[in-house]
Amino acid sequence: MTTHASGDLGIHAAGLTKSYGDLRVLDGIDLAVPRGSVLALLGPNGAGKTTTVRILATLTAADSGTARVAGLDTVTERSRVRRLIALTGQFAAVDELRTGTETLHMMGRLAGLSPRAARARADELLARFGLTEAAGRTAKTYSGGMRRRLDLAASLVSRPEVLFLDEPTTGLDPRSRQDLWELVRELRTDGTTVLLTTQYLEEADRLADRVAVLADGRIAAEGTPAELKSRVAGHRLDLTLTTGAAYEALAPRAVHLAPDELTLGLPTDGTAAHVRALLDELDPDRTDIERFTLRSATLDDVFLALTGADR
Amino acid sequence: MTTLPVSAFALAGRSLRISSRRPDALIVALMLPVMLMLIFVYFFGGAIDTGTAYVTYVVPGAMLLCAGFGAASTAVSVSEDMTNGIIDRFRSLDVGAVPILAGHVAASVVRNLISTTLVLAVALAIGFRPQAGPTAFLGAAGLLLAYITAISWLAAALGLLAKSPEAAGGFTFLMMFLPYPSSAFVPIETMPGWLHGFADHQPLTPVIESLRALLLAQPAGDAPWIALTWCAGITAVAVTLAGALFRNRTR
């Protein structure tokens, strides 16, 4: 893990553990997120992503370990931390029966703005999030993407230094997802530290300065998206096989499986010599492999290789 | 940063605005107590001998019944907030249990004052004639306010106790049932003997007896003090319970 003076870190966690009954959800989490950067916490369902976010956002206490957010201890300086952070959860936490303006205005009042300042901040955020036209309608009439945008806007009313986004794009259509990515990039440009959790590797790849892969309550790997990708062989040879038997025979060696298409992927360095040798080794009679494609490794491959998920 | 009253006020406003946009719930909350009062007065009242016109007898009970319905919706709202993620949004803004629950209770009190006023207005239209002077009237209003505050806090605590809004709605049945074994609709003497002990000493009876005495300018005895003690006790227990439940739910 990179070393930083803790003043440069937006988020710094050391040795966080959490159990619910016998279930050990977090088993020693260390994180260091420089101020003004984006960290993606990547992991399958149940890996402990939400628990990590809730501890860092002061909503849940860890069993052991320490966490500092915006330079402050999340337990002993909880109130001060809360004034510097914002959280957008997995489900849009906006009142369906209130309008966009009403929601943002109230958030402003709760954040300590005067009525006039809260009104101005609400209008500003509505405009920035493309909700001006819908501002006077109740959120019940909004699309899923609009609700998420309103939810994110609500969390930004207080101009947080550190923003936690728990699966911010789950369930969104591609267009809304793109919009949300753009907003996160803007926040980063403004100097906000962002920790987002995601199951989507593409999302981590596109948005994050660094990625931490969470599996079974531990950080299985941490680095820039490029570093993580280079940890697996770098390329993947996808083979489409002629028979189910041939597919089954090779499946144990694969890092990518698509049984419906009788296609599987194997790691390779991408050189002609290695690809040729691999094809000869796997299919000496030249009957089993119908086609092949060579692809750059994606974070999916990293993820599967590191977490053993899906196998 | 933000002061407690500002947060509670903003949250009470939120709660009231949401209620005003649930026309179905609003109509039920306003119409049901009125309907029940009309049913008692016109369907049952003729058969019940209370020594006065039945409408005169039943108004205090109808007002408390009405407050019970209002409190039920408070329990459901609190439970909804606890289960749909909005609570985390408030907590991450450093808005704590006190303003969140006080906001719900304040909204509940406002809703209930509106619906009990409506009940009173309908009662006046169908022949209820209070004899109260200004002091007694203010006393009755104050006691009603104390009662509504007490059951609103109780409803908030039940909302925190329930695991889902549906369960919260179920819990409040108790509050809606409580007026029946009291002097709300029939004199307690007409009930079977084994019920007297409960009916005489449950909290609603002194509240109802006090309201009746104050509104009709009759001697109230020590009923108002017993009633106020009950209200204060229920409020204290409910506030403590709600605080503990909130901490437990958000651990």
pLDDT digits (tens, 9 = 90+) for B116-172: 999 999 999 998 998 888 999 999 999 999 999 999 999 999 999 998 888 888 887
Chain B interface mutation, best of A85, A91, A110, highest count of B Cβ atoms under 10 Å = A110
Residue A233 has a pLDDT of 57
Ramachandran bin of A213, using left for φ above 0, alpha for ψ from -120 to 50, beta for the remaining angles: beta
Q: What is the pLDDT of residue A109?
A: 93
CB contact under 8 A, B13 and A106: yes
Q: Does B1 touch chain A (CB under 8 A)?
A: yes
Residues of A within 8 A of B91 (CB-CB) are 58-59, 82
Residue A310, pLDDT > 60, answer no
CA distance A298 to chain B (A): 33
The tokens describing A33, both together, are 């997120």
- Locate the domains of chain B by residue range: 4-249
Select from B89, B95, B247, B251 the residue whose CB has the most chain A CBs within 10 Å, as the one to mutate to test that interface: B89
Reported confidence tier of residue A311, pLDDT bands at 50, 70, 90 = very low
B38-96 per-position pLDDT tens digit: 998 998 888 888 888 888 899 999 888 888 888 888 999 999 999 888 898 898 888 88
**Check: complex ipTM more than 0.90:** no
| Residue in chain B lying closest to A61 (CA) | B251
The pLDDT of residue A69 is 95
pLDDT at res. B15? 93
Considering only alpha carbons, which residue of chain B is nearest residue A155? B89
Task: Decide if pLDDT at A1 tops 50.
Answer: no
**Residues A236-248, buried b or exposed e (16+ Cβ, 10 A)?**
bbbbebeeeebbe
pLDDT tens for A30-48 read: 999 999 999 999 888 888 9
- Amino acid letter, residue A58: T
SS3 content of chain A, % helix, strand, coil (to 5): 40, 30, 30
pLDDT at A6: 53
Please give the residue of chain A at the shortest CA–CA distance from B99. A110
What is the pLDDT confidence band of residue A307, given thresholds at 50, 70 and 90? low
Q: Which of A282, A276, A275, A286 is nearest to A237 (CA)?
A: A275
For chain A, percent of residues with pLDDT exceeding 70 = 93
Mean pLDDT calculated for residue range B15-34: 87
The mean pLDDT of A150-176, rounded to a whole number, is 90
Q: What is the pLDDT of residue A26?
A: 94
What percent of chain B is predicted at pLDDT more than 90? Answer: 44
Whether B95 and chain A come into contact, CB under 8 Å, resolves to: yes
Residue A76: in which H helix or E strand, if any? none
Confidence of residue A108 (pLDDT cuts 50, 70, 90): very high
Share of residues in chain B with pLDDT > 70 (%): 99
**Nearest by CB to A82, which of B6, B94, B250?**
B94
Q: For chain B, first and last CA: distance in Å?
A: 24
Please give the Cα distance from A273 to A1 (Å, whole number). Answer: 36
Confidence of residue A7 (pLDDT cuts 50, 70, 90): low
For chain A, say whether B249 makes contact (Cβ under 8 Å): no
Q: Is the pLDDT of residue B223 over 60?
A: yes
Report the predicted TM-score, pTM, of the whole model to 2 decimal places: 0.82
Q: Above 80 in pLDDT, residue A2?
A: no
Higher pLDDT, B25 or A127: A127
Residue A116's identity, in one-letter code, is R
| pLDDT above 90: residue A18 | yes
At residue A145, the pLDDT reads 87
CA–centroid distance for A302 within its chain: 15
Q: Which residues of A touch B (CB under 8 A)?
A: 54, 57-61, 79, 82-83, 85-87, 89-91, 93-95, 97-98, 102, 106-107, 109-112, 138, 154-155, 158
What would the pLDDT profile of A230-274 be if each residue is shown by its tens digit?
A: 766 578 889 999 998 989 988 888 878 888 889 998 888 888 888
How far lies B155's CA from each of A14, A38, B172, in Å?
41, 43, 7
Judged by a CB distance cut-off of 8 A, whether residue B14 touches chain A is: yes
Helix, strand, coil percentages in chain B from 3-state DSSP, rounded to 5: 80, 0, 20
Task: Give the minimum alpha-carbon distance from A154 to chain B in angstroms, rounded to a whole number.
Answer: 9
B143 neighbors B214 (Cβ within 8 angstroms): yes
Question: What rounded mean pLDDT belongs to chain B?
Answer: 89
Taking only Cα atoms into account, the Rg of chain A, rounded to an integer number of angstroms, comes to 23
Structure confidence at residue A210 as a pLDDT band (50, 70, 90): very high
Helix axes A144-156, A174-189, angle to 10 degrees: 20
